[in-house]
Chains A and B, each alone.
Chain A
Amino acid sequence: MPLSIKNLPKEEILLQPGHAACPGCPIGIGLRIVGKVLGKRTVIVVPACCTSIIQGPYPYSAIKVPLVNVIFAASAAVASGIASAFEAMGVRDVNVVVWAGDGGTADIGLQALSGAAERNDNIIYICYDNEAYMNTGIQRSSSTPYKAWTTTTVTGKQEFKKNVPAIVAQHRIPYVATASIGYPLDFAEKLQKASKIKGFKYIHLLAPCPVGWRFDPSLTIEVGKLAVLTGLWPLYEVENGVFRLTSISLGLLDKSRRVPVEKYLRLQGRFKHITDEDIKVYEEYVDQLWEVLRKLHGKKIV
């Protein structure tokens, strides 16, 4: 049965109400979807990040499936160990999932991630990317975008965002995808696909953070949608090396259908200071990105 809102399970399988996330937090939305798609037979590995607070303080937890909190650099390695243990025990029906922030993925956990990907260990690694170290007070990460304000880039970051899904795709793993909190069903479909593949699966989920990005908490979904509609965050998957744009992004190869990037940037206080010149840089960035995507779409790239 194809996924739709109606046939997602009614009950909350992974995240229960009364957790510690800020109002409008994308992590709550993302974890609910993970539970509804992957089901109860899921083990989740979480390094230090906002999620380790959201789950709630000892002795209680808002998370209903087994969750292991691990040190920052180790998530993929710990998940590999858990997956190997299940394999040795003959348990075949459990999804072992890493749920890590962008700091824990693009910076601190990158070597463990690369190791697990190269070994093609049987796990689903999800990076929820709120584009900074949010839990410790909005410090820049290598996944923070160009010109974004953070508490450590007070005049705007000088560098562009690191392209982690492209790096991971180069490990010749069976499945890599991008997703956005603005399109939960696209994310759900990718999770479902990942759960049926043996080996290393990577999903990079853009997760707009109202606190760190400085927008009203009611706009989390809208910002997540605009990131995609402007072309700044393309939704795609790389399945057995073949690159394919998905859902809304499929229609955006035609430039006239893309929303001007300014609309996305101006909605967020972290870009409040940007100039017309900066916006031009962004427009050129998006145009160049889509020239590359046009060449990749439908092709074997690894």
Chain B
Amino acid sequence: MSVRQLPIIPISTPRIGAVGKTGKWRIFKPIIKQDKCVKCLQCWLYCPDAAIIRDENDNVTVNYDYCKGCGICAHECPVKAIEMVKEE
């Protein structure tokens, strides 16, 4: 491609994983104990990485491809249903 063919304004394309699988950054991993969860959705609301998946029935699971392991979900869960464990 010649310089002339380049766009005058660079335009990025949206995609999931714009900087790759950010789950690789993780040191601690959140584990949701489903039997304790009361579906309050606090973890889903607060996750900075949109890495808590909320299904049609408000069940929550972690998207480990992108969860960075910040621990906010575990810290904010009112019933302590989320535990942070060290990655191997």
Q: Can you pick out 9 interface pairs between chain A and chain B where the beta carbons lie within 8 Å of each other?
A: A17-B49, A17-B50, A17-B63, A28-B47, A28-B50, A32-B50, A59-B12, A184-B45, A221-B72
Residues of chain B with a CB closer than 8 A to A219's CB = 75
Contact of A61 among B14, B20, B47, B70 (CB under 8 A): B14
Q: How far is the CA of A21 from the CA of B18 in the complex (A)?
A: 11
- B45: nearest residue on chain A (CB-CB)? A5
B68 within 8 A of A: yes
Could you tell me which B residues sit within 8 Å of A by CB distance? 10, 12-22, 25, 40-42, 44-51, 54, 56, 58, 63, 65-66, 68-72, 74-76, 84
Known A23-B68, A25-B48; 14 more pairs at CB < 8 Å: A10-B54, A10-B56, A17-B50, A17-B63, A18-B19, A18-B21, A24-B70, A59-B12, A61-B18, A218-B71, A220-B46, A220-B72, A221-B75, A222-B75
Q: Which of A50-58, A190-198, A258-266 contacts B (4 or more CB under 8 A)?
A: A50-58
A107 within 8 A of B: no
Residues of chain B with a CB closer than 8 A to A184's CB = 45-46
Residues of chain A with a CB closer than 8 A to B76's CB = 221-222
Residues of chain B with a CB closer than 8 A to A62's CB = 14-16, 18-19
B57, chain A: closest CB distance, angstroms? 11
A61 contacts B54, C-beta separation under 8 Å: no
Contact of B65 among A17, A27, A63 (CB under 8 A): A17
A60 contacts B18, C-beta separation under 8 Å: yes
Give residues of chain A (206-241) contacting chain B, Cβ–Cβ below 8 Å: 210, 216-222
Residues of chain B with a CB closer than 8 A to A216's CB = 71
Residues of chain A with a CB closer than 8 A to B20's CB = 18
A18 contacts B72, C-beta separation under 8 Å: no
- A9: nearest residue on chain B (CB-CB)? B54
B19 contacts A56, C-beta separation under 8 Å: yes
A19 contacts B15, C-beta separation under 8 Å: no
Given A59-B12, A60-B13: A18 in contact with B22 (beta carbons within 8 A): yes
A12 within 8 A of B: yes
B48 contacts A21, C-beta separation under 8 Å: yes
Q: How far is the CA of A28 from the CA of B68 in the complex (A)?
A: 12
A221 contacts B46, C-beta separation under 8 Å: yes
Contact of A56 among B12, B44, B48, B66 (CB under 8 A): B12
Q: How far is the CA of A22 from the CA of B75 in the complex (A)?
A: 17
A29 contacts B46, C-beta separation under 8 Å: yes
B20, chain A: closest CB distance, angstroms? 7
Give residues of chain A (1-31) contacting chain B, Cβ–Cβ below 8 Å: 5-6, 8, 10, 12, 15-29
Residues of chain A with a CB closer than 8 A to B22's CB = 17-20
Given A16-B14, A57-B19, A217-B71: A26 in contact with B66 (beta carbons within 8 A): no
